[in-house]
Structure 1
Amino acid sequence: MVDLTEQERAAMRAALKPVAELMEEIGWATPLAGLSEAQVLTLIEAAVGAFQEAMAASAARASTEIPF
């Protein structure tokens, strides 16, 4: 397992909503093996995209002040 930073953990939590919205459309009872390739790729795209957006937003909020 990867040793995630708190920033990365927060970005993963931010990715939950778009993935959950897609799963709502697909159907929560659908097993992963029952998903089409297109559905899996869409889920991955939603998760990665939301993660990247959250990381970028977090970086933009980070202080650019030099600590000395």
Structure 2
Amino acid sequence: MVDLTEQERAALRAAMRAMAEVMAEIGWTTPLNALSEQKVLTLAEVAVGAFQGAMRASASPSTPEVPF
């Protein structure tokens, strides 16, 4: 596994919280292979979007680049 920075770990926690909201709507006992393609795409989009948003939010205002 990749050695994550604390910033990346925090972003993953943000992504998990966002994914948990979607999973609560879908149903926690629903197997992943029972999800429609659209629901899997939604789950992926939410995870990636939340991770990127958290990384962007944690970037230093003096740094013009996003830290990923």
For Structure 1 versus Structure 2, the TM-score category normalised by the shorter chain is: 0.7 to 0.9
Q: Which structure is higher in RCO with an 8 Å CA cutoff and minimum separation 6?
A: 1
Higher gyration radius (CA): 1
Q: CA deviation at 1:48?
A: 0.3
TM norm structure 2:
0.83
- Richer in helix (by share): 1
Give the aligned partner of residue 24 of structure 2: 24
For structure 2, the residue ranges without an aligned partner over 5 or more in a row are 63-68
- Cα deviation for residue 17 of structure 1 reads 1.7
CA distance in 2, matches of 1:3, 1:42: 27
Return the alpha-carbon distance in structure 2 between the equivalents of residues 20 and 40 of structure 1. 13
Cα RMSD for the two superposed structures:
1.2
Task: Name the counterpart of 2:36.
Answer: 36
| Distance in 1 between residues matched to 2:30 and 2:6, nearest whole Å | 31
Alignment size in residue pairs: 62
Q: Which runs of 5+ in 1 are unaligned?
A: none
Query: Which residue is equivalent to 2:50?
Result: 50
Letter paired with 1:53: G
Deviating 4+ runs (over 6 angstroms)? none
CA distance in 2, matches of 1:32, 1:63: 39
